[in-house]
Amino acid sequence: MLKIHKASAGSGKTYSLTREYLKLLLGYKKGGRYRLRPLSAYGYQKPKAHGEILAVTFTNKATEEMTTRIINELAALADASGLCKSPYLEEFMNEFDTDAVTLREHAGRALADVLYNFSWFSVSTIDSFFQRVLNTFARELELPANHNVEMDDKYALAIAVGKMLTSINYRPAVAAAPTALSGRVAEAVYDVDGGRGEEFQPPVANLVGQCRADFRPRSFLYRNL
């Protein structure tokens, strides 16, 4: 199941994503509605529900905020003292068709599973997630074992634009006749820049950077594998 939440800043994305995460952590969907996982599903050597849930955000700050919110709300649901009341309590009682005591017991068991198996708790940025995928399949992708992922956008853009301009400025012998379109592009670059690629590179890199910023997604993605 794949769920994508798209909303503007301050509209309650973290609240909604935390609710969806806790629903999947505490229950499962059957017959069109959610039901609480049996208590026998928790504990030592049992499959961990949170190990099958992946929450992906776009910033480190959002990752930290969502991790903290999930743990805090799960602890509030499991709190028997009544000092910490979760805003999800009434909603989950209706969603799972259960009472506060039963929900509290399940939340406590789920919280223990998460804390004792925290390495399976996966809330990360989309960059970190794809880096993990890249490292896992490095051999299949024919990447060296000591490969590095460049996180500096400007450096990567500068290298890419430099290679592009180098390929345009390089004009082989007439025997390797270029196409009409590539020839016109090359001539245009020579006419505008006079062959000085190092002067033409910064504005092109800036333009590409602006285009990437304009089309960069600004939403949270949540996935249950």
pLDDT digits over 157-180, tens only?
A: 777 777 777 776 555 544 444 555
3-state secondary structure labels for all residues of the chain: CEEEECCCCCCCHHHHHHHHHHHHHHEEEECCEEEECCHHHCCCCCCCHHHHEEEEECCHHHHHHHHHHHHHHHHHHHCCCCCCCCCCHHHHHHHCCCCHHHHHHHHHHHHHHHHHCHHHCEEEEHHHHHHHHHHHCCCCCCCCCCCCCCCCHHHHHHHHHHHHHHHHHCCCCCCCCCCHHHHHHHHHHHHHHCCCHHHHHHHHHHHHHHHHHHHCCCCEEEEEC
Range of the domain at 116: 2-139
CATH value at residue 47: 3.40.50.300
Instruction: State mean pLDDT over 59-75.
Output: 91
* 159 and 205 inside one domain: yes
Q: Quote the pTM value.
A: 0.64
Which of 18-27, 81-90, 96-105, 143-152 has the weakest average pLDDT? 143-152
pLDDT class of 205 with cuts at 50, 70, 90: low
Task: Provide the number of structural domains found in the chain.
Answer: 2
Domain membership of residue 222 (yes or no) is: no
Report the pLDDT value the prediction gives residue 126, as an integer from 0 to 100: 86
